Every structure is written in structure tokens, then in C-alpha cells.
Amino acid sequence: MSIVVDRPETPPASRPTGERRHRRRRLPPGRGRVLDVAGVTVAFGAVRALEGVTVAVREGAFVGLIGPNGAGKTTFFNVVSGFVTPSAGRVRLAGQRIDAWSPARRGRAGLARTFQNIGLDKQATVADNLRVARQGGSLAGELRLSFARRSGLPSDDRTSAMLDRLGLTAVLDERVDRLPVGTAKLVELVAALSRRPRLLLLDEPASGLGAPERVRLGALLRDLHRAEGTTILMIEHDMALAMSTVEYVYVLDFGTLLAQGPPEAIRRDPKVIEAYLGKAAGRP
């Protein structure tokens, strides 16, 4: 896969409203970080999945995390959401150390994520999954679906609007395992967004989606970011989508941070291009 994007793009990432931008500028350096990860190291046996990785995401930012297959991106999300304990480093959410917190506690503190392989209850319907999400259940499921079924509507107006935009209203009563992968990924995204997370982690939201769905996904993410200031950290291999939505990019390669910067600089960075082209050419 090449990082070079030569087809026409949708307009650049939307900027926050003047008021929010003004408020952000007044923040002293180092403040206003929703996510602050410093020096994180993870080893799986002989594999160094992450090596001293430092990443910060400011409140209201839309940040990308890219890198070739096996670079450590999903492992980084697992560290932030509490599924993998690093051997070194620390994780702060809105200024608080969360290293010892369970995934459920991190969820209650405003962290939401989607999974590369879909974290929904696949035997349940779309509507039931949305009910669980709305009631604060993590997608790892600390709330029983039987309880969720008994209570409440699956969605509020905002969630209904998102379902509508993504063409999901017709599948509300379908079981998730009967849906195409791309459709299930969009349902998981709406479930995560319906909780109005403080920080949303998206692991390859466009994988499994066709071209028209990718366009709708990109537009929804840009709109939510602009209208609601949702803070998003997104792993994405679709460079056209990533570069047309995010404001800042971190690049991982072999578990280390290879580069960081605005999308325009990243796509021209020889180190980044080499990392992608090297992989494509059969580099280990």
C-alpha cells in the first residue's frame, strides 16, 4: 500500500468553531490533553509491539494513528483501553492516571472504542446493542443484554439521525451476525458515539466498507467533530479517508514512533513513504 494519495479529496478537516478554537489557544502548554500516553512499552514474548511510545491528544482534536501492518497500532489502543498492561510508561485520561483502571472503569470515565474485528454482541440485534451502549455498557459487555431489552428505546434523536445518515435504520431489528462486516462496523461506530464519549478510539472504521459507505463515514466523522467537538483518535489504512479527516497524525513502525505532524507533512515524509513502500516490497 502506498501512502501517496493522488485522487481528489473531500475538503480538508473541518476546524472547530471560532469560540472553541479561541478557548483552546488560551490553554497553557501541556493542559487540555484528553489523552496523554508517555513512554509505553509492550512485549509479547520476543516481539516488541510498542517501544517507548509517547502520544498526546488535545481536547476536541481529531488525530490519526497510522503505520504498516503489525506496527503496534491496535496494541496501543489495547493499552489505552486497559486490555493490555504495558511493562513501562503511563497513561493519563483528562489528567488522571488510569494505568490501574479496568476497561469498564475507563469506559465510565468517557473512553469509548471500536474494535478492528467488531466488539458488538453478534448474536443480538442492532437495536439491542444500541440499548446496551446507551445505558453505558462497554462493548465488552458489562451490562446484560436481557436487562437492556427490557428497558428503553434503542436510540435518541441524535442516534437516530446518525443511523439514518449511515443507512442503518432498516437493519435495527437484524442480528449483527447477519449483517455485512462493513455494516456491522458502522453500527459499532454509532453505538460508541451514542455514549457521547470524551475520547473515541476508532480501529480501522473504514475496513470492510465500500466506496459510498466510506464517503458517508468520512462526512459523518467530520461533521461530528465540527459540530460537537468530539475528540477522536483513529487508526486507518485508507489514506484518503484519514488525510481528509484528521488534523494531526502519529506514525508507528515496528512499535516505535516514526513520525508525527500535520497530514500534509506526513504524506510527504520520506521516512513514512519508505516504511509503507518497504512493507509493500516485502520488507519483514
Residues that bind ligand ATP (CB under 6 A): 44, 47, 49, 67, 69-75, 116
Q: Which is nearer to ligand ATP, 101 or 250 (CB)?
A: 250
Residue with cell 451476525: 177
User: What part of residues 111-150 is at the interface with Mg ion (CB under 5 A)?
Assistant: 116
Q: Identify the bridge partners of residue 97 per DSSP, sorted by sequence position.
A: 92
SS3 label, residue 39? strand
Question: Which one, 130 or 235, has the nearer CB to ligand ATP?
Answer: 235
Smallest distance from the beta carbon of 242 to ligand ATP, in angstroms?
A: 13
Q: Considering the rule CB under 5 A, would residue 160 count as an interface residue with Mg ion?
A: no
Q: Is 74 in the site for Mg ion (CB under 5 A)?
A: yes
Cα–Cα distances in angstroms (integers) from residue 95 to residues 33, 51, 199, in the given order: 7, 23, 13
Picked from Mg ion, ligand ATP, none, the partner binding residue 71 (CB below 5 to 8 A depending on kind) is ligand ATP
Q: Which of Mg ion, ligand ATP, none does residue 147 bind to, with CB < 5 to 8 Å depending on kind?
A: none
The three three-digit cell numbers of residue 95, written as one number: 489528567
Nearer to ligand ATP, 48 or 58 (CB): 48
**Residue number, 84 or 172, with CB nearest to Mg ion:** 84
Q: What H or E segment, with its residue span, contains residue 36?
A: strand 33-44
Shortest Å distance, C-beta 204 to Mg ion: 7
Question: CA–CA distance from 104 to each of 98, 112, 139, 189, 202 (Å)?
Answer: 12, 10, 9, 18, 17
**Whole-number Å distance between alpha carbons of 46 and 40:** 17
Please report, as ranges, the residues that interact with Mg ion according to CB under 5 A.
Answer: 73-74, 116
